[in-house]
């Protein structure tokens, strides 16, 4: 099987859509007054909940985590959307999603009252987006449709 321009175009569109999602999540958080990660972290469940709770209860740490999340989302979003430093953006996005997944893991017996709009067991949308980013990291989509093409040059073999 070959990596054809057509296939890479569709993978690039997928990458841009995830980029749009990250970017908008980040923008909303930056523009809402007094947004913090408190609510998200304090409602954490699962085997790492005490770790996430501890991030929420320390004011200094909470401020740092909130800032990191807001701007992390924006930067990763821009990276994916524009296809710049694509592979590192994919990894960073996957890492962030791993945190989200572990903060509210859809494991057996865990019931979420707030903030969940569907029904999940082990697999949720965070995990699917995470795996998608891993898949995208394996393809040079930024060098096909993205600023990486201008920085690192186009893919030679195509």
79 part of the interface to other proteins, by CB under 8 A: no
Contact 43, 37 (CB under 8 A): no
* Contact status, residue 42 vs residue 51, Cβ threshold 8 Å: no
Closest approach of Cβ 47 to other proteins, in Å? 21
**Using the rule CB under 8 A, which residue among 1, 2, 6, 31 binds other proteins?**
31
By CB under 8 A, name the one of 82, 90, 92, 97 that touches other proteins: 82
Q: Give the max Cα distance, the chain.
A: 53
Helix or strand (DSSP H, E) at 102? helix 86-103
Q: Is residue 144 near other proteins by the rule CB under 8 A?
A: yes
Total residue count of the chain as it appears in this document = 158
Q: Could you list the residues that contact other proteins (CB under 8 A)?
A: 16, 19-20, 23-24, 27-28, 31, 42, 56-57, 81-83, 144-150, 153-154
């Amino acid at each position: 099987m070959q990596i054809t321009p057509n296939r890479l175009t569709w993978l690039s569109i997928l990458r841009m859509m995830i980029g749009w999602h990250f970017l908008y999540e980040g923008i909303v958080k930056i523009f809402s007054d007094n947004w913090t990660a408190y609510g998200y972290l304090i409602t954490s469940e699962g085997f790492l909940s005490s770790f996430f709770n501890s991030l929420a209860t320390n004011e200094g740490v909470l401020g740092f985590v909130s800032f990191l999340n807001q701007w992390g989302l924006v930067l990763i979003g821009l990276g994916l959307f524009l296809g710049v430093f694509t592979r590192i953006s994919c990894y960073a996005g996957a890492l962030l999603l791993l945190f989200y997944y572990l903060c509210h893991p859809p494991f057996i017996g865990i019931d979420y009252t707030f903030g969940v709009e569907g029904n999940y067991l082990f697999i949720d949308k965070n995990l699917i987006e995470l795996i998608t980013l891993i898949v995208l990291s394996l393809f040079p989509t930024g060098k096909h449709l993205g600023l990486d093409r201008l920085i690192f040059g186009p893919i030679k073999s195509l």
